[in-house]
Amino acid sequence: MITMATMTKSEKTLTRFEFLFNKYVNLEKWMSSELELHTNYQSFPGAYETIAPKVNVADFFSIILFDPTTRLNGISEAYVYLMLKSNAFDLSKMGGKIKVGEYSEWLIKQFLNADSNQVYVSPSPARETLLLRVRFIEDLYKVKENLTKFHRFKNRLTKDNRDINKLMVGDLEFLMLDYSLEKTKASAEEKDAAKSSYSYPGSEIVFKGLDWTVVKISELTELAKDAACFFGGYDLKPIQGETSWCTSSPGTYNRYDYHAEKGPLYVVLPNKCDTFGKKTGLPSVRYQFHFQTNQFMDQHDKGIILTDYLNGPMLELKDFFKPEFAAGLTGNGGEELLIDDFEYGQVGKYISLYGLNDLFETLPDTLTKIHVKNNNSKVSVELPPSITRFKKLTSIYFKNCLTNIPEEICSLDNLVFIALENNTNLTNLPEKIIDLPKLLFLNLKGCSNLSLSDYFKSHSVQFAPDLWKGKAM
By DSSP bridging, strand 204-208 and strand 336-339 are: unpaired
Q: What are the C-alpha distances in Å from 325 to residues 290, 306, 321, 466? A: 11, 11, 7, 41
Q: What is the pLDDT of residue 27?
A: 59
Greatest mean pLDDT among 106-115, 234-243, 290-299, 319-328: 234-243
pLDDT digits (tens, 9 = 90+) for 387-407: 998 899 999 999 998 999 999
- How high does pLDDT run on average in the chain? 80
CA separation for the pair 186, 223 (Å, rounded): 8
Cα separation, 202 vs 57, whole angstroms:
33
Q: Is 90 exceeded by the pLDDT of residue 75?
A: no
Nearest-10 crossing angle of helices 104-112, 57-65: 130
Total Cβ atoms within 10 A of residue 423 = 25
pLDDT tens readout for residues 437-455: 999 888 998 999 998 888 8
Distances (CA, A) of 357 to 46, 243, 315, 410, 422: 50, 38, 20, 18, 22
In sequence order, the 6+-apart residues with CB closer than 8 A to the CB of 462 are none
pLDDT score recorded for residue 350: 76
Q: Cβ neighbours of residue 207 under 8 Å, at least 6 residues apart? A: 213, 214, 317, 320
Check if the beta carbon of residue 2 is closer than 8 Å to that of residue 31: yes
Of the CA atoms within 13 Å of residue 288, those in its CB half-sphere come to: 28
The closest of 268, 187, 282, 196 to 233, measured between CA atoms, is 282
Tell me the residue type at 369.
Answer: K
Cβ-based neighbour number of residue 8 at 10 Å = 10
Cα–Cα distance for residue pair 49/112, rounded to 1 Å: 16
pLDDT digits (tens, 9 = 90+) for 206-220: 999 999 999 999 988
Which of these ranges, 31-40, 125-134, 354-363, 396-405, has the smallest mean pLDDT?
31-40
The pLDDT-based confidence of 13 (bands split at 50, 70, 90) is low
Q: How high is the pLDDT of residue 50?
A: 47
Tell me, letter by letter, the H, E, C secondary structure of the chain.
Answer: CCECCCCCCCHHHCCHHHHHHHHHECHHHHCCCCCCHHHCHHHCCCCCCCCCCCECHHHHHHHHHCCCCCECCCCCHHHHHHHHHHCCCEHHHHHHHCECCCCHHHHHHHHHCCCCCCCCCCCCHHHHHHHHHHHHHHCHHHHHHHHHHHHHHHHHCCHHHCCHHHCCHHHHHHHCCCCCCCCCCCCHHHHHHHHHHCCCCCCEEEEECCCEEEEEECCCCHHHHHHHHHHHCCCCCHHHCCCCCCCCCCCCCCCHHHHHCCCCEEEEEECCCCCECCCCCCECCCEEEEHHHCEEECCCCCECCHHHHHCCCCHHHCCCCHHHHHHCCCCCCCCEEEECCCCCCHHHHHHHHHCHHHHHHHCCCCCCEEEEECCCCCCCEECCHHHHHCCCCCEEEEECCEEECCHHHHHCCCCCEEEEECCCCCCECCHHHHHCCCCCEEECCCCCCCECCHHHHHCCCCCCCCCCCCCCC
* Residue 48 confidence class, pLDDT cut points 50, 70, 90: very low
Specify the pLDDT at position 289: 94
Domains along the chain with CATH numbers: 11-138 (no CATH), 190-314 (no CATH), 328-458 (3.80.10.10)
Q: How confident is the model at residue 46 (pLDDT cuts 50, 70, 90)?
A: very low
Averaged pLDDT for residues 83-111: 77
pLDDT at 239 over 50: yes
**Separation CA 468–CA 459 (nearest Å):** 11
Give the separation between CA 194 and CA 175, rounded to whole angstroms. 24
Residue 136 predicted with pLDDT over 60:
yes
Q: What are phi and psi of 443, to 5 degrees?
A: -120, 120
Judging by DSSP bridges, how do beta strands 402-404 and 381-382 pair with one another? parallel
pLDDT at residue number 274: 94
Q: Pick the closest to residue 247 from 268, 269, 230, 270 (CA basis).
A: 230
Is pLDDT at 76 greater than 90 in this prediction?
A: no
Using the predicted structure, report yes or no on whether residue 470 has a pLDDT greater than 80.
Answer: no
Q: Which carries the bigger pLDDT value, residue 90 or residue 66? A: 66
Average pLDDT value for residue range 109-136: 69
This prediction has a pTM of 0.48
Q: Give the mean pLDDT of 165-171.
A: 91
- pLDDT surpasses 50 at 119: no
> Mean per-residue pLDDT for 343-365?
72
Query: Given this model, what pLDDT does residue 463 score?
Result: 52
CA nearest neighbour of 74 among 107, 48, 98 = 98
